[in-house]
Every structure is written in C-alpha cells, then in structure tokens.
A and B are shown apart, each in its own frame.
Chain A
C-alpha cells in the first residue's frame, strides 16, 4: 500500500526567497485541535489566504514556555482528544489542496520522543510539514533529533533569545535550517510586548551569523507592532493574538474562522505594507 507523500524540501526556502517583494513574511500560529480538528482545518485553509507560513502548535500537557493563552489552547486541544497522529493528519489533509504554504510544527520534546524521532520525522515530512520547532530541546540535546530530521529533509528551526550572546549564537546556528526564530522578549508567549527598536540589532546580528532569514515572535499582538517588526525582520510571527480570537469567539458562540481570519487579514496587510529595511 502506498500513501501519498507531500515531502518538499524546498517549500520553506522558496517562501523566504521573495526577493522582489522586499517584505517580511507573515507567519500565523494556531494550535492544532483548538478547539477541535475540524475548526483547525478550516483555519488552516483560511489562514493560507493571508499568511506566508503557518506555524501549527502540537499540544502538550506541560507547555512551560507558554503564557496563559496558549496553555489554555493546549488544554482545549487535549481535552478534545487531539493526538500526534491527528496533528499530522491535519497537515496531510491541508496538503491535499495546498502544496505551497509551508507548515512548521511547534511543540515540546516529550510527545516527539514518545513517537520516536525517526518515525516522527518521516511521518511529518510525508504529511507535508516543512520544519519543526521544539521549545525545550537546545542544541546540546538535539543531536539525535537533528539526525532524524535531516534524513527526512525537514528543517529544524532554532530559537534565539535576548539572552543569546555571540558565543551562544555560534552554538545555535550549527545544523539549523529554514530560518531562525528570534524570541523578542525574555518571557513566555503572549504576555510582554515586543519592542521593535530593540529587535533590529539582534535580528541583524543573527542574520549575519546564521546566513538564514530571521523571523521574530513572542509579544506581537497588533497590526502596528507587526508592521514595525516587519521593517527589520524577515518574518513576523503572531500567535497569542490569533489564539485569543479563537478562545473568545468559541466562548461567545461566534464564528471562530470568520473572527480569526479577520484578525489575520489585518495583520497580514500591516506586514505586507511594511518594506523590509535590509541592513
């Protein structure tokens, strides 16, 4: 029995190679299975109209780097019974109609370790995922996971933070690909606000050290801020602000997809209108 494979090693790189546009990519984050898989599927399809890359959260029981918004999204997803195979199933279903928009899976190590690194890397690549961000797996521990991802031609995207100095940056950029995710605040997701001015320096430094595009996330909630960050970074990640829309719409019995896509279109417009000032 053969199952369609949606492997495409170049999808993510192509997304960042929009040199003619001179603009940052808009990267939208949602949690898979929040509030349920069907809504996530509708959201993925809709978000692809606005976002250049989609980050898809893999729920975890103990998301230590997340603020309340994404913690609760994780809980809603797990309460709805979301499993790893459902998350990958969602990607696969999305790929049946969209083979262009890259999907980056973001989560914590234990569910991936439980699945087995090689099995995870192969299943995720076949489903059509393009990269993986594992919050609690620093380079010191990433060897075996990196081997598996490289073999499956999946990108391992690393986080750099305000506490990352030059020496640490050298450690970080080894065996990393796709892009570097700069966490603009020392803190958890969705709580503190990113300062666009403070982001410019580190982004340029990381870009130079890695030779990779740098996307900035954590603490970007409004179109204004997204635009400000878009002027200095290669990508702008918005997560909690979208997940907040999911939570409030679900609570008020409103149309979740409609509300989230409205927010996403505002953010996308703001990011697209801002020209990237490449140093």
Chain B
C-alpha cells in the first residue's frame, strides 16, 4: 500500500519540494528554473510580510468588494427538499468571478519583484479579464494568451480585455483551447524571462503556483467559515465547487480540510459523457502524468500524449487539474463527481429561474450536483456551494445550445 497516511497537519503541504504527496513539483525548462525558484523565495517572503497582507486585504475590501456574501438559496433548497443550500457569491466580485482574488495577490507580488510586463493565459476569459483589470489598475502592460476557439466562443470577455488595455493573442496550435494557451504563455515567458511575470490563473503549474494561488483563493473558504458560523452557528456539512484547474474549489476546500465533519465535493466536467472522448474529467477519467510544470492527473492517450479536453464551459476545458486536488482525490479527503454539458445547462436555467442568479457555466456544473447532495446530506443539513462566477459571458453559448438566437 503506498497510500499516504491520513495527514492531520494540512499546512505541511506542499513540502519543501513543492509536493502534495506525489503531486506538484517543478517540471519546467531549465531557462525558467531560476525564475520559479526566485518566485518561490519572493512569495514566501511576501506571505510572511504583514505589510503585504495588509495591502492585499485593503484592495480585496475596497476594490474587489470582499467579503462576498454568503446567501441562503431558499427557493432552490425548498425545491430540492433536502439540506439547506448556501451560495458563496464569488460572482459578485469585481470582474464577476473569483479570479480577481488571485490576480490581486499576484500583481502585488509582481510589483514587489520589480517585474514590468505581465502575461496570462485564459480559457473562458474570466482570468484574462481579471488580469487585464489589475494590470490596468497598476499600469503594467498585459498580454493574454487565449485559444482561438475560446476567443470565438467568449467574445464579450475578449472585448472586455481589450477595453482594459490588454492585448489578447489568439493561439491556433493544438486544439486552440486553454491547454494550448498555457503552452504559448510558457513560450513567451521563456523568451522574456528578465522582465516578465507569468500570472497563472489556476492552482496548477510549477511550484509555487499551486500553493500560492490556493493561498490567495483561500479567502473564499475562510470567509465562508466565519459567515456560516454566524448564520447557522456551526460549520457546514458539506462544501461543493466546480473543478477545472480547480482554483475556486481549492480556495473553498482548503480552510475546511482539517474539519473532519465537513464533506468536500468537487465537480468535474464530463462533457458529452465519460464514455466518450469528449470530456474534461481529469481525476475521474485520467491518470497521473506531467504537464505544464507539475505532476498531476491528466487526460492522456495510451502513449502518454495529452488529450484535448471538452466541456461546454470554456473555463473547465482543461486536460489537467491542480496537484492538490490529485492528492485530495487519492487520499479520499475530497470526492470528485462529474457533470455533463446537458446537466450543467439544466442547472444553469434552474438557478436563473429559482434564484434570479445567472451562474457561470462553470459554477452550473457544481449546482447540477445539488439535487443529489441535498438528498444525501438530508434535511437539517447545510451545504455551501461556491458560486464561482456569473454567467453573462455564457449567454451566447447557452443560447446556441438551446437553439435560440440572440
């Protein structure tokens, strides 16, 4: 048995080598090694510097709009007839998603490191918009790599990034989605090592990114802990979030890892179904491998080539997942469920109709599992769902899927 013992000190992860159990690490080209090691030192220093934390907290309050509300979704709870369901309203953040929590932290770090140019990759465009927003706010040039397919299906976000002064570079290699955008961002980084900071949008990539992005997103779970205790006088029975790379999920999960009574659920996109080759469920349908600087679960073929992922949600359309999720999956601390495109679409509409909230298609994947979870947790129980983003950007995709024109 090489399953690790159930750890009771979650702060021990990642270890000094940037590993969560067997996952994580630093698998990058040698040109980048001095940079990621420097980033690790700079982040460790910033993390322990009260003035950095204070500055970040200030921007989170006055610019991002935190704390985000914890909202009791009463009608949805009643409809599902089980546990009480709360939404952690990350879609109310400035720019409309949780992505800005991380970008705010990283831009302050980039400035501290004296970097003068920012690059980022984006899938649905939410991280691109958040990157463009903070670079506008702090006056740094920003280049966002985005798969050409995603540029086409996320036009409103491309326009937003342009309005904010960022240059969006469409990537046509491979399947022209998020994975290829990340490859291209790494090519830019290796070419412009001296002045460029790579603002990774999810809790993946080489160490220290998975830990750093998690720390910046942990504000979600930390606030949730306080808010639910105020509202319910206790911790929730379960927390649930959608997982692509997994940054909103790990932000919600991490502060609850040591609470054994809190069940943790991630929801992966199973696209057209796990039995097809059109899905993005890395944990459920993949196996461990190395891509984009870290060891983690990946969709791959019978020769170790990375497969193209598919999801109706551009933000979940990634063949990998953050390494901490791989670890939580292996040791069983979190359970990972799957949701198809069709289930997500139905949940998208249900949420809009019952709660007056149009969720991002990403978040709709988590919502789709609520009927099952509400029943499982049962009456008297409490579930908190991370509503990671709002669905304005997705209305064209959804209209298309419903056969409507707008």
Contact = CB atoms under 8 A, between A and B. Distances in A.
Interface of A: 59-68, 71, 75, 78, 83-84, 108-115, 135-138, 140-141, 158-165, 168, 172, 183, 186-188, 191-192
B30 A159 contact: yes
B300 interface: yes
A141 B306 contact: no
Nearest to A66: B187
A164 B293 CA distance: 18
Interface string B52-88: 0000000000000000000000000000000000000
Is the contact region of chain A dominated by helix, strand, or loop, or is it mixed?
A: loop
27 contacts: A59-B305, A61-B306, A62-B174, A62-B183, A62-B291, A62-B292, A62-B306, A64-B187, A64-B292, A65-B29, A65-B187, A65-B190, A84-B304, A114-B304, A135-B29, A136-B27, A138-B30, A140-B25, A141-B26, A159-B29, A160-B30, A163-B30, A163-B35, A164-B30, A186-B31, A187-B31, A192-B191
A59 B307 CA distance: 14
Contacts, number: 113
B34 A110 contact: no
Max chain A C-beta neighbours (<10 A), residue from B180, B191, B193, B305:
B305
B275 interface: no
B289 A61 contact: no
Given A186-B193, A188-B187, A64 B304 contact: no
Interface in B218-277: none
A172 B291 CA distance: 22
B186 A64 contact: yes
A138 B27 contact: yes
Contacts of A61: 174, 305-307
Contacts of B298: 110
Contacts of A67: 187
A162 B29 CA distance: 12
Contacts of B31: 65, 161-163, 183, 186-187
A114 B26 contact: no
A158 B398 CA distance: 49
A115 B29 contact: no
A191 B190 CA distance: 12
A164 B303 contact: no
The 3 closest A-B pairs by CB, nearest first: A114-B304, A111-B304, A187-B191
Interface of B: 17, 25-35, 173-174, 179-180, 183, 186-187, 190-191, 193-194, 289-293, 298, 300, 303-307
A114 B303 contact: yes
Nearest to A158: B30
Contacts of B34: 163-165, 168
A141 B27 contact: yes
Contacts of A66: 187
Contacts of A159: 29-30
Nearest to A164: B30
B192 to A, nearest CB: 8
Given A67-B187, A172-B30, A188-B191, 4 more contacts: A62-B180, A65-B190, A84-B304, A109-B27
A138 B33 contact: yes
Contacts of A164: 30, 34
A226 B292 CA distance: 32
B169 to A, nearest CB: 14
B191 A186 contact: yes
Given A64-B186, A191-B191, A84 B303 contact: yes
Contacts of B193: 163, 186
